[in-house]
Amino acid sequence: MQSVHPPKHPKLKGCLQILARGLMGIVALIVILAVVGYAYEHYASEQDMKRYPPPGRRIGVNNHKLHLYCTGTGSPTVILEAAAQSSSLDWGYVQPPIAQLTRVCSYDRAGFGWSELDTGTQPRTAQREANELHSLLLEAGEQGPYVLVGASYGGHIVRLFAHDYPEQVSGVVLVDTRPEKLFSIPAIQQQARSAFGPMRVIVFLGELGLSRPLIATIPEKMIPSAAVPLYKSHPGSYEIVFQHKLWYASYAEDQALETSDAQVAAIGPMGNTPLIVIRHGKPWTMFSSLPPQEAEEGEQKWQAFQEEIARQSSAGQIIVAEASGHGIQVEQPAIIVEAVQQLLKSP
């Protein structure tokens, strides 16, 4: 019996070949654009660092180069620890007046501002960053005792530092500090976890240089309105702060948040260390994005957590920044300066 072969369709075969070549061309184009974007972003970042050099020194710590900016003279030395996704620039309203009182240092954690990030130094927990801060101060030759000031997530770092090196710490100011129990609010924990996916996309786009033109069109939307004059007064602020490494560093810290919370929860009371806790008085946007009842409950729990943290020291007290949301360091910086001044006068 003679075998039957399906009829050949030369036109169909030709179309499939053209389609395959087209798809391969598109893939090749995407790869080329990705390589070009990656190279452009890293080259542009290097040029920005040359065009806008740091005001302080860059010092090697754990394969990073960390930027430390110290002004003023005297003792104790005040150390300013920035919030999440923040840099030393965000202390621009606080550092100058404190420098009139004593020596004060702000710095950039790895990946932020003028600091580099070794991506192999993981995870980016608060404990690791407290250790890096201690190493940074040693390498820089800065002398204690220190008054530590930590904003939001930065409060985790200074609390761990104060626990690990109590003989070097004469006082602590926590500025709307992140409570270690924050994720006991289910809506906030879910909000944080659901942000991982979008953050991974932002990290990827940042590495390819695609976030740079977007930020250039809306730079003032990226920071609190109270900080806009501060950034405008420092040329290159946006170019330095919003580089690709910011997104990677922020994502790495976010991934380690629950571990960082557990690290702070494990250290226990602060003894009689002079402690001032400053909390916001105006509703915080993180809670206002929740349904009204959950938002109100979130604010109440935040206030209760701040009171609880203040009680960690027998010398603890709490101050309310009535006219501020979460960004007290740019909205009511004078309150922070006054708190530091109070601790400087403490025996």
| pLDDT for residue 289 is more than 80 | no
25: number of Cβ within 10 Å? 10
Q: How many domains in the chain?
A: 1
pLDDT at residue 14, as a whole number: 62
Residue 25 pLDDT more than 80? no
Coil vs helix vs strand at 318: strand
Tokens 């009535």 — which residue? Answer: 322
**What pLDDT is recorded for position 17?**
65
* Predicted local confidence at residue 26, as pLDDT: 66
Q: Strand 77-81 vs strand 146-151: parallel, antiparallel, or unpaired?
A: parallel
pLDDT tens for each residue of 142-195:
998 999 999 999 999 999 999 999 999 999 999 999 999 999 988 888 888 888
Q: Where are the alpha helices (DSSP H) in 209-310?
A: 211-217, 228-232, 237-241, 244-255, 257-265, 285-288, 292-310
Percentage, residues of the chain above pLDDT 70: 87
Among candidate residues 50, 97, 65, the one with its CA nearest the CA of residue 78: 97
Asked, for residue 26, whether it belongs to a domain, the answer is no
Mean model confidence pLDDT for the chain:
88
DSSP-derived pairing of the beta strands 64-71 and 57-61: antiparallel
Q: How large is the average pLDDT for residues 34-58?
A: 78
Question: Residue 67's pLDDT band (boundaries 50, 70, 90)?
Answer: very high
d(CA 122, CA 198) in angstroms, rounded, equals 21
Any domain includes 31: no
Specify the pLDDT at position 1.
46
- Provide the terminal-to-terminal Cα distance of the chain, rounded to the nearest Å: 109
Most confident of 7-21, 159-173, 238-252: 159-173
Q: Is the residue at 96 inside a domain? A: yes
212 in any annotated domain: yes
CA 115 to chain centre: 12
143 falls within a domain: yes
Residue 214 lies in a domain: yes
**pLDDT surpassing 90 at residue 122:** no
Note the pLDDT of residue 191. Answer: 83
Integer Cα distance of 171 and 165 in angstroms = 12
CATH number at residue 72: 3.40.50.1820
Q: Is the pLDDT of residue 216 over 80?
A: no
Average pLDDT of 69-97?
97
The token pair at 95 is 């550092």
The answer to whether residue 58 scores a pLDDT higher than 90 is yes
Q: Tell me whether residue 37 is in a domain.
A: no
**Is 70 exceeded by the pLDDT of residue 13?**
no
pTM score: 0.88
Does residue 23 register a pLDDT over 90?
A: no
pLDDT tens profile 226-237? 999 999 999 989
- 206, two tokens: 């940042």
Whole-number Å distance between alpha carbons of 62 and 134? 12
Between 206 and 261, whose confidence is greater?
Answer: 261
Of residues 12 and 321, more confidence is placed in 321
Domain hosting residue 190, numbered range? 52-345
Helix (H) or strand (E) holding 189: helix 186-194
Mean pLDDT of 133-145: 96
Distance, CA of 317 to chain centre:
26
- Tell me if residue 275 falls in helix, strand or coil: strand
Strand ranges (DSSP E) for 12-63? 57-61
Instruction: Note whether residue 272 is domain-resident.
Output: yes
pLDDT at 294 over 60: yes
